[in-house]
Structure 1
Amino acid sequence: MKHTKWILALLAIIFIGISSFKKPDFITSKYYIVISKTNNTLTLYDKDDWIYEYPCTFGSDDLGDKMMEGDRKTPEGIYKIIYKKPHAKWNKMLMLDYPNETDKAKFSKRKTEGKIPAKARIGGGIAIHGTWKNDDRAVDELQNWTEGCVSMFNADLNELYNIIEPGTQVIIKR
Structure 2
Amino acid sequence: MRGRKILLVVFIVVFAVAAIYAWYPYSPMPAGTQIDKLVVQKSQRQLLAYEKGKLVKTFPISLGRNPIGAKEFEGDKKTPEGTYFISAKNPNSGYHKNLGVSYPNQQNLERAKQLGKPAGGDIKIHALRNYTGFIGRFQRCYDWTLGCIALTNAEIDDLYAHTAVGTPIIILP
Q: TM-score, normalised by structure 2?
A: 0.73
Which structure's residues are more often helix, by fraction?
2
Is the contact between residue 99 and residue 124 of structure 2 (CA under 8 Å) also seen in structure 1? yes
Counterpart amino acid of residue 135 in structure 1: I
| SS in structure 2 at match of 1:80 | strand
Following superposition of structure 1 onto structure 2, how do residues 107-118 of structure 1 map, counting pairs within 5 Å? 107-108=112-113, 111=114, 116=115, 118=116
Note the residue ranges of structure 1 that are not aligned, 5 or more in a row.
1-28
Matched, 1:53 2:69: no
Distance 1:134 1:87, change over 3 A: farther
Identify the residue that residue 160 of structure 1 maps to in structure 2. Answer: 159
Distance 1:30 1:128 in 2: 14
Matching residue's letter, 2:118:
R
Which residue of 128, 131, 141 corresponds with 2:128? Answer: 131
Q: Does 1:106 align with 2:111?
A: yes
Change (3 A) 1:30 1:56: closer
Matched, 1:172 2:168: no
State the shift of 1:102 in Å: 2.4
Q: What is the TM-score with the length of structure 1 in the denominator?
A: 0.73
Q: Is the 8 A contact 2:42 2:67 kept in 1?
A: no
Question: Is the partner of 1:59 in helix, strand or coil?
Answer: coil
SS of structure 2 residue aligned to 1:38: helix
Change (3 A) 1:92 1:30: closer
* Structure 1 residue 46: Cα displacement: 1.5
CA RMSD of aligned residues (A): 1.6
Structure 2 unaligned residues grouped into runs of 5+: 1-33
